Structure 1
Amino acid sequence: VGCARRPPRTTPPLAAAAPPWEWAMAPAMARARPRAPGDWAKLCASHVLLASLAVARPPDCTVVGGEVCEPPPVAQDNALLQVRLRQEQSTHNAHNDPEAGAQELDNVLAAADDAVAEDDGCFEVGMNLHGHNIFAEPAKTGSARGCQRLCQSNAKCSFFSYNTAWGCFLKTADSGRQLMPGSVSGPKLCEVKFAGQARPDLQRIFAFEDGGYQGADSGASTRMRDGTYLWLWGDTIIGQCVDGGKRRSLQGMTRQSVSKLKVVHKASGALDFDAMRPQNFQPNISEHSEQYFPPKWYPVYWLIEGVVGAKSGTLVIQVWNIWGGLNGHARTMLIVDNPEADPDAWNWREGLIPANTSCNYAHGIAQKGKWIYMLGECEGWAVLARGKEGAIAGFTLDELQFWDGASWTRDSGSQAPLFHMHWCSEGSLAWHEGHKLWYVPLLQSISPTMRLATAPRLEGPWSVQEVYTVPEVWGPAQNRSAYAAKAHPELATDSESLIISYNTNSAPDEHGNWQRFESENIGMANSSVYRVQFLEL
């Protein structure tokens, strides 16, 4: 009941008549180091089970070592109860040897991972896959989940079998199935299923401003070093609210704008919308300055997604260079040396990614360790490039590396396809700590179907699933479109959810472009159009 929200106290309060295993747990818990926030919940759940066991022992339970109650044999088939047994025994050991007991408590977390996977129907406990081994000798790893991670790092592996006696075998197929005690088998990936529901309440964050922001597209959020978030927008409408905000009067459009937002949560964990008032910045259209980043060679830069270097503090932005309608390329990146300043005072530079001209890199950017990773697209397929933070900040882009399916190389012509982009011209790349997954939302105006690409590692393997259908009101039958899905981990209020935004737009009809801008029904004069939409997965 509150354990998933915060870690347990270092020294839990103990009842005066607590059994020996309970007071022995305190020093062991103080030394246990769960590897992720969700691990605290697993530990907490197993301790709740332990407490209930101590209060009311089942009549057919036996005592082990005079201190630990063992569940009846029929319960041994349940993997989560197996974890409980191991935790009880490690607690008993902690009483005799605190250091050893602490290590055992930490090891139980790996078993909890395996148990959760089994309960999800992903792992098969007691099942061995005979034959189809990639290597003649087993790999050494301490759990079935660890064996699965080895499988995920091997391009040839599709399945695995782990046994507590001999270790981990990576497999190319799942035939040769045989029951075997101590074995656990499973696939390369345990796919997490997601489904979306609209979150119109989140639109309150970006309220319209008279004489200012009246809507924009793209809408990627980037965490700054001070904990605030910088939202990068593309074409941005400037105008006035009409009829109580139901309509808008358009005064102009800038090619870029940015917003600075501080995300505030209430004590309950919910977002505090009243405390989340963004600062919106737009170029001064009265001075014919439509862009913060006027390109050297092309008329327009569309801002797609950015990341702030952990060490340098520079802002790296993926952009589309646009000319002549929707023609352009996305092999340019921008560097802002002082992103903490107001945009009018930004010092910025631009550089060209040395990659194939058939590739574009506007589909997500993220940092992991010293590397900045850029997701791109080559002929419809996702590809991955990376560079060291210092090299990118210094624009030594000839040092960029590209993933070829087996290793990193400087040959952009050998990039390996990761997954199909479903014709998306832009995207975002984010890590979900709760699910231990990288993810990329995919939505393009040619289809109402939003998809989600996920992978445990940036290099893959990736899988793609359908997660949401955009309502018909934003479809071609209404001369409207939906596109530009972006991830916003900072807006999630629990450890399981994903918050995704997408943009809506209007399209010209047989009468031309006037309806797109001026129609109060389906055009941009309707304030529901060209406004960021949110959903939760």
Structure 2
Amino acid sequence: MRTVTRRVLIGGVAATLVAGALATAVAKSVDVGDEEGRFSAGDLTTMFQEYGDTSGTWLGADRTASVALSGGRTLWLFSDTFLGRPGPDGSRPRSSGLINNSAIVQQDGRLDRFHYGGDPSAPAALVPTPAAAEFNWIGDAAVAGGRVQVLANSYRRSGAGPLDHKLTGTMLAEFSEGSLTPGPVRKLPLGDRISWGSEVMTEGGRYYIYGTEGSGAMKFAHVARTAGPDLGGAWEFWNGSGWSAAEKDSARLLSGVGTNYGVRRVGDQYVLVTHENNLIFSADFVAYTADSPTGPFSGPHYLFRAPEVAQGHIVYDADLHLELSRKGRLLVSYNVNNLDEAVTYADAGVYRPRFAEVAWPPAGSARGPAAPGGLTAVADGAGTASVAWQPVAGQDISYRVYRRDVTAGQTHFVRLPGDGPGSATTYRTEFLTNGHDYEFAVTAVSERGESPLSPPAGMRATVPPPDAPGTVEVRALSDGRVTVRWGEVPFVQLFRVYHRDLTAGQRKPEAAGTYPGVSATIGPLRHGHEYEITVVAVGGGGDSPPSAGVRVTPRVAPPAAPGQPGAVAREDGSVRLTWPSVAPGLSYQVFTREAGTGGDWGVPGLTDRTTFDTAPLRHGREYEFAVAAVNSGGVGEKSPPVRMRAVVAAPVKAPTRLEVEVEVESGTAELTWRSAGAEWYRIFRRDVTAGQKEFVQEEIAVKGTRAVVHNLADGHEYEFAVTAVNDGGVGPRSEVVRVRLPSVAPTEVTARSDEPGTATVVWTEIRRGLTYRVQLRDATTGESWRTDPYPVTGNRYRTTMLPGGRRYEFRLQLPDGTMSATATTTIR
């Protein structure tokens, strides 16, 4: 599921975005031994939390698909994405913009460039939709032939609540792999029953595309495939026994998957990882296995429970990141949200990816106790079922209850949540649907393990409509929204809130959304209008009668327009605006557009002062500015406009106190310098040892006063310089610093012969993790040097079958051709 909130972007957020992509970087020290490019779950969770807190652009998102790119890069794809930075208290500002999809490139263990559509004055989704009333949520992607092909599902709103949206089709977007430059976006000839792109798996030179079908409260997995590595080609659909060219023939693989889930080949099995969706708002994440991409799938294997559910949040969508998983583990991401938007606005860290690692394959367990027998299941008239069974012999036996909704098409038994019956042999299960046939099974659990499922017992549920919620309370907020609270209703997890505009004479209540729990925040509602608020419980037996109506009247008065602003152009290309105060305690929206175009004012900036510095604007362009005051009731009229031409002056100062420090272990050079008053800098270097005559500019500018330079040759001497840069040009260079990278050739190379015909060479490594080629020769016979065909790592080499009594010499060659000192020994 997704949470879609307002799509008005605030200019203060947009101004932090630079040319469609911002080169920020958040890195995490990842201790993964020799598993280069692999990450722990904790490291990735922390990495995204820090990126959201510090990037100033990407504040949080959901979906979290990953795609391996060339050069060791990873492309992270997201759906609904909030923009900006958290408030001082860690909250998500109400001014945060929202786009429906975006991407971040990870390189060298760092979350780096943030990619989106539109431009800095009006950020937009990375994958747009041609229909204004629709939006795209990201599916999965594939890389082939220098192209990144991204599937996206198009939706339109079907109601006012966070769960109210309807699938309209599937889009395919293409990007160049190197720069992620947008290419064509087109709608695929697919229907609106299945959201394709939950997973794109490469297998046998073709793509297998998994999708999700929503049917009532249940979701089902489907699979299609392509003839070759091209998502834009013809698709075939698995019909249960073979492949069909017609999407309508697509058959269900299994129930209980999320909108997004992961499927990959792991060893000799296909593993499907998903949030447990056979139960509503479950905390469990599970895996199913199969011998074929089309199933049949067996399981579920219970992987982990998301702790965020115990905190009142919801979790959803699992993605499997096999390329980033450490050996013997599955790395799984999932999303966290809360259906009360007040909660997610209070803590920006809620709406960010979480990661979990699980051992795979699962560890086997000792033989458990026998399966319980004598299972019975009886429906009662209150919408519950009573399950009972015979006790199992043994010490410290407890039980787990499993359920399958046969009528809904549920394909596997699912473990019911909570603590279960413990050692009791009876259990009462709730949240059933009227008229549905259910099957129940029970297992016995001891310290030796869990038994097989018992023989099932069936029953048909009889569920009456729930009682109406009681004691509904409403509170008008200062921004036109209304908080609604109501009493709990037994066996009900969802509630639907309605409002009726009495002032406008509205006769039929209008749905404001479906919510779990006992509270919701709806609106904003119309100023000065009296509303009647009612709540309906949505249960397995249908909807309850509406609650007693409660009335509320939001009263909001927009402020007057400010007087004409003053404008001063600044050397960094920004414009400082000032205007007279309208009243204490107001905030202001600042509108900007290019002068003379008469176009849209675009996304406004926001401030609580009577001064505002715009983001740097395009050099030499004339702009028009206007200001509107904002209070809790809305936005007032705009001020008279003022014009100003933006001027960006090239930096005039050179950076000073340039210093360089070599990191021997990584072979990098860290440059630091004193700021020249600019935000961005260019790095220049010259390889003196290689005979370079001119300085070479690094491709990517850096932000701040620190840079780490990679791809340096060991033992080479380099010169570095730094310049400040902005839209107005490049400033003067700093003084040059020179440094020589030390050789990483091994030291203390010694050789010995401990046994007849053998030689052992040991050495001290300067940099761990290097690969060496051992060269040796028979010095007694004057043999030329020869290279052992097998590279070695570490600090030890042993060879056998050498002729005794001869003196052998050994040396180590590094990947760059550097040789170590020679070690000599006489073979025994």
TM-score by length of structure 1 reads 0.52
Q: Does the alignment pair 1:455 with 2:290? A: yes
Match of 2:184 in 1: 348
- Kept after mapping to 2: 8 A contact 1:419/1:463: no
Name the amino acid aligned to 1:503: N
The Cα of 1:360 is off from its aligned counterpart by 2.7
Gaps of 5+ in 2: 1-32, 359-828
* Structure 1 residues 401 and 237: alpha-carbon distance in aligned structure 2, compared to 1, 3 A threshold: same
The Cα of 1:217 is off from its aligned counterpart by 0.5
Match of 1:533 in 2: 354
* Structure 1 residues 284 and 316: alpha-carbon distance in aligned structure 2, compared to 1, 3 A threshold: closer
- 1:412 pairs, out of 242, 247, 257, with 247
How is 1:65-464 mapped onto 2 (pairs within 5 angstroms)?
Answer: 199-206=41-48, 207-208=51-52, 209-243=54-88, 246-250=90-94, 251-262=96-107, 275-283=109-117, 287-297=121-131, 298-309=133-144, 312-324=145-157, 326-329=164-167, 331-342=169-180, 345-355=181-191, 357-378=192-213, 379=215, 380-389=219-228, 392-393=231-232, 396=233, 399-422=234-257, 424-433=258-267, 436-443=269-276, 446-464=281-299
- Kept after mapping to 1: 8 A contact 2:261/2:272: no
* Structure 1 residues 386 and 448: alpha-carbon distance in aligned structure 2, compared to 1, 3 A threshold: same
Q: Per-residue CA shift, 1:239-273, capped at 9, x if unaligned?
A: 22444x744435212211101113x5xxxxxxxxx
The Cα of 1:453 is off from its aligned counterpart by 2.4
Match of 1:121 in 2: none
Match of 1:491 in 2: 324
- Kept after mapping to 2: 8 A contact 1:305/1:428: no
Match of 2:468 in 1: none
Aligned counterparts of 2:290 and 2:329: Cα–Cα separation in 1: 16
Aligned counterparts of 1:462 and 1:341: Cα–Cα separation in 2: 39
**Greater gyration radius:** 2
* Structure 1 residues 406 and 337: alpha-carbon distance in aligned structure 2, compared to 1, 3 A threshold: same
Q: Does the alignment pair 1:504 with 2:336? A: yes
Aligned counterparts of 2:306 and 2:195: Cα–Cα separation in 1: 29
Larger RCO: Structure 1 or Structure 2 (Cα < 8 Å, ≥ 6 residues apart)? Answer: 1
The Cα of 1:431 is off from its aligned counterpart by 2.5
Task: Specify which structure has the higher proportion of helix.
Answer: 1
* Structure 1 residues 466 and 212: alpha-carbon distance in aligned structure 2, compared to 1, 3 A threshold: same
The Cα of 1:226 is off from its aligned counterpart by 3.3
- Kept after mapping to 2: 8 A contact 1:320/1:328: no
* Structure 1 residues 285 and 299: alpha-carbon distance in aligned structure 2, compared to 1, 3 A threshold: farther
Name the amino acid aligned to 2:198: H
The Cα of 1:446 is off from its aligned counterpart by 2.4
Aligned counterparts of 1:335 and 1:388: Cα–Cα separation in 2: 19
* Structure 1 residues 322 and 411: alpha-carbon distance in aligned structure 2, compared to 1, 3 A threshold: closer
- Kept after mapping to 1: 8 A contact 2:210/2:221: yes
* Structure 1 residues 371 and 467: alpha-carbon distance in aligned structure 2, compared to 1, 3 A threshold: same
* Structure 1 residues 471 and 371: alpha-carbon distance in aligned structure 2, compared to 1, 3 A threshold: closer
Task: Specify which structure has the higher proportion of strand.
Answer: 2
Aligned counterparts of 1:374 and 1:501: Cα–Cα separation in 2: 19
- Kept after mapping to 2: 8 A contact 1:321/1:330: yes
Please state whether the residue corresponding to 1:362 is helix, strand or coil. strand
Q: Per-residue CA shift, 1:439-458, capped at 9, x if unaligned?
A: 33235572222122222320
The Cα of 1:5 is off from its aligned counterpart by 8.2
Name the amino acid aligned to 1:530: Y
The Cα of 1:237 is off from its aligned counterpart by 1.5
The Cα of 1:391 is off from its aligned counterpart by 5.5
* Structure 1 residues 291 and 277: alpha-carbon distance in aligned structure 2, compared to 1, 3 A threshold: closer
- Kept after mapping to 2: 8 A contact 1:492/1:498: yes
* Structure 1 residues 296 and 493: alpha-carbon distance in aligned structure 2, compared to 1, 3 A threshold: same
- Kept after mapping to 2: 8 A contact 1:438/1:457: no
Aligned counterparts of 2:42 and 2:230: Cα–Cα separation in 1: 41
- Kept after mapping to 1: 8 A contact 2:283/2:315: yes
Match of 2:801 in 1: none
The Cα of 1:459 is off from its aligned counterpart by 1.8
Match of 1:66 in 2: none
Q: Per-residue CA shift, 1:417-467, capped at 9, x if unaligned?
A: 221134x2222332324x643333235572222122222320222123142
* Structure 1 residues 418 and 347: alpha-carbon distance in aligned structure 2, compared to 1, 3 A threshold: same
Name the amino acid aligned to 1:482: V
* Structure 1 residues 291 and 492: alpha-carbon distance in aligned structure 2, compared to 1, 3 A threshold: same
Aligned counterparts of 1:285 and 1:254: Cα–Cα separation in 2: 12
* Structure 1 residues 389 and 204: alpha-carbon distance in aligned structure 2, compared to 1, 3 A threshold: same
Give me the CA root mean square deviation: 2.9
The Cα of 1:402 is off from its aligned counterpart by 1.2
The Cα of 1:334 is off from its aligned counterpart by 1.1
* Structure 1 residues 205 and 350: alpha-carbon distance in aligned structure 2, compared to 1, 3 A threshold: same
Name the amino acid aligned to 2:205: K
Name the amino acid aligned to 1:536: E
Match of 1:24 in 2: none
Q: Per-residue CA shift, 1:205-251, capped at 9, x if unaligned?
A: 222235211111101001123331111111111122444x7444352
Which is worse superposed, 276-285 or 220-229?
276-285
The Cα of 1:203 is off from its aligned counterpart by 1.6
The Cα of 1:501 is off from its aligned counterpart by 0.6
Name the amino acid aligned to 2:45: Q
Aligned counterparts of 2:169 and 2:200: Cα–Cα separation in 1: 13
Name the amino acid aligned to 1:524: Y
Aligned counterparts of 2:119 and 2:303: Cα–Cα separation in 1: 37
Aligned counterparts of 1:304 and 1:443: Cα–Cα separation in 2: 19
Percent identical pairs in the alignment equals 21
Aligned counterparts of 2:303 and 2:207: Cα–Cα separation in 1: 30
* Structure 1 residues 472 and 501: alpha-carbon distance in aligned structure 2, compared to 1, 3 A threshold: closer
- Kept after mapping to 1: 8 A contact 2:92/2:348: yes
Name the amino acid aligned to 1:291: A
Aligned counterparts of 1:485 and 1:451: Cα–Cα separation in 2: 9
* Structure 1 residues 376 and 530: alpha-carbon distance in aligned structure 2, compared to 1, 3 A threshold: same
